[in-house]
Structure 1
Amino acid sequence: MEGAMDVDVRIRKTLALAWERCPALRRRMEEAGLALEDIRGEEELARIPVLKKDQLGVLQTQAPPFGGLLAVDVKELARIFVSPGPIFDPQGAVPDYWRRAQALEAAGFGPGDLVVN
């Protein structure tokens, strides 16, 4: 189990990467009067403005396909899903990208089983 310090370090690293590569996130934070250094860990995450689904569609229309919120090159994605709206959802290429394998295994699913989402 991770300690609070480990989580805070991961939050800072993830946010630094997003700040550098996701102009829409950086702009939202700056509009809220936040600098990257203002978010030091889990306690301060609530200061970042929540992005609502209808706002995501607007951002994605203005800067297709991910609205300036994708931190990797689109070529690194395994799939791009399109939901009604339309809303574009990226899927990275790492194994168990959605982090559901452990829960599915605990529920009794295994190799060869078909799960409908």
Structure 2
Amino acid sequence: MPNKAQVKVLAIYCDGDKATCAGPGENLQVMSSGIEEEDILVGFVLCSATFTAGYKAVLHIHSVVEECEIVELLQQIDPKTKKPKKKKVLFVKNGAVVVCHIQVYFLPFHSFGNS
């Protein structure tokens, strides 16, 4: 959780029925302990904080919102020295600074026609 709360999932419900798994795009209700409902805000994600190559994300740049994929983690930056670490980066955790290759699909402006 973004507020760093440790949460335990007690049950997952899909369309009112208890579920053990769910697919992309399904609306779920999660019964949890360790956090109050008013502490959960829109956009909170309940998952591991590990970030690897192949991670699919949503990139927000000003008013543009686009799906993207982390293709390669190139370097992790040491927070104390502000210099790249020498060790090969396989994954990073929440709060890390990393140089990475992000793949974003887009259409050039001229392909939209004049209106």
Report the TM-score range of the alignment, normalised by the length of the smaller protein. under 0.3
TM-score by length of 1: 0.25
TM-score by length of 2: 0.25
